[in-house]
Amino acid sequence: MPGSVLAAPAPGTVEFVGVVVDRGTLTIRVDADTVYSWEPIASTLSVGDQLVAGAPLGTAARGGHCATECVHLGVRVRGEYVSPLRYLLGRPVLLPWE
């Protein structure tokens, strides 16, 4: 939703903040191999800012192909896009049969 605060899922460093095509975009690097990107986002962060997990990144904004509110989250590992779900949901845990 527009105005919803978006938070960093992990500690990292802002690598990009600006407009791509017609929407605000933010990218943070969380380790040597992994970057997260959000769009559309309105952010006052600057390249090089250090973030802790849970730090506010900015607010959801309108833009792109969405007629209403939406936020796109991209995760790249070694330059390849991967499903962000494995990074947001945590590791699965097998439980014993009851």
What per-residue confidence (pLDDT) applies to 56? 97
DSSP 4: P
Residue 15 forms beta bridges with which residues? none
Grade residue 61 by pLDDT with cuts at 50, 70 and 90: confident
What per-residue confidence (pLDDT) applies to 66? 73
- Name which residue leads in pLDDT, 7 or 90: 7
Q: How many helices (H) and strands (E) in the chain?
A: 1, 9
What per-residue confidence (pLDDT) applies to 2? 58
Residues in the chain: 98
Q: In what order do the strands lie in the sheet with 56-60?
A: 5-7, 56-60, 41-42
- Report domain 5-87's class: mainly beta
Buried b (16+ CB within 10 A) or exposed e, 56-89: ebbbbbebbeeeeebbbeebbeeeeeeebeebee
What per-residue confidence (pLDDT) applies to 36? 97
